[in-house]
Amino acid sequence: MSEQTIKPSQEAIPAEEVQPASTDATPSEASQATPTPGSETPGEMSKKGAKKEAKRLEKLAKAAVKAVVPQAGTSARKEKKEKAAKESATATPAEQWVNTTPAGEKKDVSGNLPSTGYDPIQVEAAHYEWWSQKGFFQPRYKENGDPLDKGVFTIILPPPNVTGNLHIGHALTIAIEDALVRWKRMQGYTVLYLPGYDHAGISTQAVVEARLIKTEGHSRHYYGREKFLEKVWEWKDQYQEKITNQLTRLGASLDWSRVAFTMNDRLSKAVIETFCRMHEQGMLYRANRLVNWCVYLNTSLSNLEVDQLPLTGRTLLNVKGYDAKERFEFGVITSFAYPIENSDEKIIVATTRPETMLGDTAIAVHPDDPRYKHLHGKFAVHPFLDRRIPIITDGITVDMEFGTGAVKITPAHDPNDFECAQRNGLEFISLMNDDGTYNANAGPYAGMKRFHIRNKIVADLKEKGLYVEQKDNEMQIPICSKSGDIVETIMKPQWWVSCKPMAEEALKRTEAGELEIKPKTSAGDWVRWMENMQDWCISRQLWWGHRCPAYLLKFEGEAPDTSDDKNWIVARNEEDAKAQADKKANGRKYTLQQDDDVLDTWFSSGLWPFSTMGWPEQTRDLEIFYPNSILETGWDILFFWVARMVFFGNQLTGKMPFKEVYCHPMIRDAYGRKMSKSLGNVIDPLDVITGQTLQKLHNDLRMGNLPEKEIQKAEDGQKKLFPKGMPQCGTDALRFALCNYTSGGRDINMDINRVEGYRKFCNKIWNATKFCLFRMGLVDLEGVRQQSTFVPYKSALPSGKESLVEKWLFHKLNLATTAVNNALEAREFFDASTAAYSFFLHDLCDVFIEATKPLFETNEESEAMVSARNTLYTALEAGLKLLHPFMPYVTEDLWQRLPRRPEDTCESIMLASFPETISAQDFPESLANFDLVMAAIKSARSVSGLYNLPTNGKTLEDKITVMIQAKKPELRAVLESQASIIIALTKGAGTVKYISEDSEIPHGVGTEVVTADITVHIPVQGKVDAGAEIDKLEKKEALAVGNKEKLRKVIEQPNYETTVREDVRAGNVDKPRLPRVRIDADMFFSPDGQDRGGDRVDQIGDPEVQAAFVIHILQSVLILSAFSGACSEAQRVDAAGEGRPRAGKSRSDDCVVKW
């Protein structure tokens, strides 16, 4: 392979051009580094020997480079560390802060800024009480009482259940909803954000009863209905207060003058009215149908309250209400035979619930199945009961290719069998009592508990010779989400709502554009569910809730059928019920008994959008704020709550209850797991806001109803997730993080570290505003108030005297304003929060504040300074306003510290005008020009960072010189006009020079191309710490090796494939392989440039890793070696073994650097 000498180019001088110092290798070492005639060449050496030799030479080369290059910056770094350690040692703890603002009064921020810097506890104090006291949360109207010209915006808070404290999912709801509310309020809308609470019938009753059992040792039956309900009301009051506190700490700007509760008198009236109207319209009826039944709680359940436990095969489970040592078999399918009447023949069926065969009323076969055509119309004989079982044909129920092609039909205990029975006129035999024992229909098994019967049936089938086999069966077991009991399907006389007609109407209106559902994935689910709507059971066998306004009419001497609608009187009160009964009785003696059942919680919460407005009365609120503008909720209750509201809204008011539904994502923990108390990953938002020790998190677990075993498991989970407890993040950081997490409907894997990161952003906002106040002369650098004559311009519009960077900032403000408004309108909360964040942090802080430092540091009250100061004020205030919907507290606290414009009487940032896109702030040419300046600055920073140039130079000679090559005069003029800004924004820079021709480029520079016409060069010769760079590489290599070894151990674990999620495993496979690369000593010293056995870059494997390695090695190590004068050429050895020259300038003929 021939060598090529790279001649000096007339274009940019590459970094390879800098000379390395000569090495101090001993003659013997040098002779070892260069093969002598007759010695073993790399091609002849064994692979092991070559690698060993290469390692030895690599070590020598690194030591040589470290020895000859000065350790630039080491002393400065050492001094800095010593100074920080000294300051830390002498620091004294700050005194605990006490809020002295009287409740409801405005916080006085006219004094000095707190010496402690940003402290969320201090910042958030007092503002909420003042906002509420001033009525800022209430809707604003014109003087005549009409809504403001912008229009009306209404959100009704999804009522949290009074079962316990709010969790992080509720915090997401508040963060999103309140962001929209504050944004619309600032835009000038008449805004209503209405608070309220849900009684949550089954959930609250279950949690209160569990608490009583744990603390007092008694169930609700010990106390009786009235006494137990008193205890539930006490619980409700206690937790409503706690939830209210959480809502206020989260900054929710709710109109507390309108607070609602689903069981208060006004909303209870709406519930009764709905029940009666729906019954009068024929949409609500009484019937004996299948329901989900929880034996432990003794009540029916909605589908939402039933979880599915997946089983892959035979599983032994303990069941709620049985002895803790008892285990019952699930996940198997049992086959057995029914004898055919008057025949020796048998027909084989299979079931996962053998006990239900006691309720079989038919055996179904497919009408076309030739195996059973001779049995059509015949009977099987029940082996344990005196019952003939007809053999019927049903092509819908039976798949003749599955199993034996014969299906046992148990109409009273299976939904599919129920429909089959209705089609074929079969008998319905109900087996189970409410307590889980079997009734008289079970014959000899009557009085036994359901799963004891399961075992007994299997044993008796074996005894009779009818048992065939059991096989593992992948299936799901229905579990009550409230009690953990296994749910049964049984027939109960209940109240039902006819949903199909309402679903058809809802679908019709949705397709007509009256309702928009976001994101689109949820919209598709909505349509599919509406097309397959079933009737809704609204009865619950509970004590806590709205009692059904229905009265059973019992005539003397008669036992009425409680499943027959005709035997019930539905009335708005007892007086009305008695009047109707008198009319029906026509003189006969009777009694009236109100139904003991209560209504499903979703029945009352389904009225929430309009019952909270005063319906059924025609109120002013109903006229103005209904329909609501938007409903924001979790996608998981789209079909249970949202659908009910749509049904009732259309049926009772003739209108869709809201114009839009936004479904936020589900929050999971950092590992992607669903949040569960037993996992210890449920997060109380107040713990994130105020901070919490790990021990306190443990203690809180014991305040709930978890059994000791589950508490231990939860504590282990907390130790893993929060080993140091919860850091204090504050409300603003939490709200911003939650909004920034929300993107495209995807689930959120909640990481507290990310929230803590946004606390640092709050600190940045605080410090930046403090610095801006300093620039305005209002405080000194320590935040101490100063006398200042600064008053911002009356108008926020540009004055016409702005500099290039000011115009750029105005244009950036317009872009950010447009982005935030458009994103919030589209409900893209990630985009909205990111746009506000980027403007404040990058455009205002990183660029404008830094860029104007030279101007302000002149201390001359020039026209340019006055203009810059006003632009700074405008941008700062606008930046706080853009952030306010997400971060209400810190923005209010800082906004209150700003001076007001003349004639500006606005009391709070939450009432200030939200930024709008203004054409007078558009400066596209200035944007393009200053973006070019910024691109040059970024390139200068890139080169400086690449070579790790010292940025603490004291003299002009020690500082960085930035050379900008601009080939076009107009571009050069723009860049020259911003020289002070380029120096200010390039850390460590002292001088900026401008050139046009390639011939003006000096030797020994680092170069980066900005555009085709602009290039940045920085002299680097003599300023690079090669030893430090090599140390960095060694540390990175060690870290990479360690990480690779950790990953290997994880992958080789025996349960890796079953315990690690598929997407995680895929990610582990796709991780870049560790580069097998060494820096060979002969690369530095070999005069012939031959490869001495090191791995080629091409052999690394991953192309991206190749590229990263090439850049890093060339720019961090090989180039450093070139600085010492030992190398004359940089050459890439490609996969084919051929060298391709790299453009550059040679300074010596001593060696070749290969890459």
Tens-digit pLDDT profile for residues 621-675: 999 999 999 999 988 888 889 999 999 999 999 999 999 999 998 898 888 888 8
Percent of the residues in the chain that have a pLDDT greater than 70, as a whole number: 83
Evaluate if residue 285 carries a pLDDT over 90.
Answer: yes
Who has greater pLDDT, 998 or 1116?
998
pLDDT band (50, 70, 90) for residue 1071: low
Helix, strand, coil share (%) of the chain residues, nearest 5: 45, 15, 40
User: What is the rounded average pLDDT for all residues in the chain?
Assistant: 85
Q: Are 105 and 60 in contact (CB under 8 A)?
A: no
CA pair distance 857, 981, nearest whole angstrom: 13
Mean pLDDT of 123-135: 97
pLDDT band (50, 70, 90) for residue 576: very high
Query: Which DSSP state fits 209?
Result: H
Per-residue model confidence (pLDDT) at position 304: 78
Burial class for 129, CB neighbours closer than 10 Å (0-12, 13-18, 19+) = middle
Per-residue model confidence (pLDDT) at position 1025: 66
Mean pLDDT of 293-297: 94
Q: Are 856 and 794 in contact (CB under 8 A)?
A: no
Evaluate if residue 374 carries a pLDDT over 50.
Answer: yes
Among candidate residues 295, 319, 306, 361, the one with its CA nearest the CA of residue 537:
306
In the numeric block, the tokens 């929050």 are attached to 667
Supply 977's token pair. 């006009």
Who has greater pLDDT, 126 or 1056?
126
CA pair distance 505, 499, nearest whole angstrom: 10
Per-residue model confidence (pLDDT) at position 83: 52
Strand arrangement, sheet containing 516-518 = 516-518, 660-664, 631-634
**Which has the minimum average pLDDT: 489-493, 826-830, 1106-1110?**
1106-1110
pLDDT band (50, 70, 90) for residue 457: very high
Per-residue model confidence (pLDDT) at position 1120: 42
Among candidate residues 713, 547, 525, the one with its CA nearest the CA of residue 635:
525
Tens-digit pLDDT profile for residues 225-268: 999 999 999 999 999 999 999 999 999 999 999 999 999 999 99
Whole-model pTM over 0.75? yes
Mean pLDDT of 213-217: 92
Per-residue model confidence (pLDDT) at position 896: 97
**Which has the minimum average pLDDT: 26-35, 811-820, 853-862, 1107-1116?**
26-35
pLDDT band (50, 70, 90) for residue 95: low
Per-residue model confidence (pLDDT) at position 1032: 66
pLDDT band (50, 70, 90) for residue 794: very high
Per-residue model confidence (pLDDT) at position 699: 87
Parallel, antiparallel or unpaired: strands 550-555 and 568-570: antiparallel
Query: Which DSSP state fits 147?
Result: B
Supply 71's token pair. 């350790």
Supply 24's token pair. 């101090």
Evaluate if residue 1026 carries a pLDDT over 70.
Answer: no
Per-residue model confidence (pLDDT) at position 714: 86
Evaluate if residue 971 carries a pLDDT over 60.
Answer: yes
Who has greater pLDDT, 769 or 6?
769
Beta strands in 595-709 (DSSP E): 598-599, 631-634, 660-664, 667-668
Mean pLDDT of 400-423: 94
Query: Which DSSP state fits 449?
Result: B
The CATH code of domain 127-261 reads 3.40.50.620
Evaluate if residue 1105 carries a pLDDT over 80.
Answer: no
pLDDT band (50, 70, 90) for residue 1142: very low
Who has greater pLDDT, 207 or 950?
207
Tens-digit pLDDT profile for residues 864-890: 999 999 999 999 999 999 999 999 999
Mean pLDDT of 398-403: 90
The CATH code of domain 755-922 reads 1.10.730.10
Mean pLDDT of 106-134: 94
- Domain residues of the chain, as ranges? 15-35+44-69+1027-1055+1063-1154, 127-261, 299-492, 672-728, 755-922, 926-1023
Query: Which DSSP state fits 256?
Result: G
> In terms of CATH architecture, what is 299-492?
Alpha-Beta Complex (3.90)
Percent of the residues in the chain that have a pLDDT greater than 90, as a whole number: 69
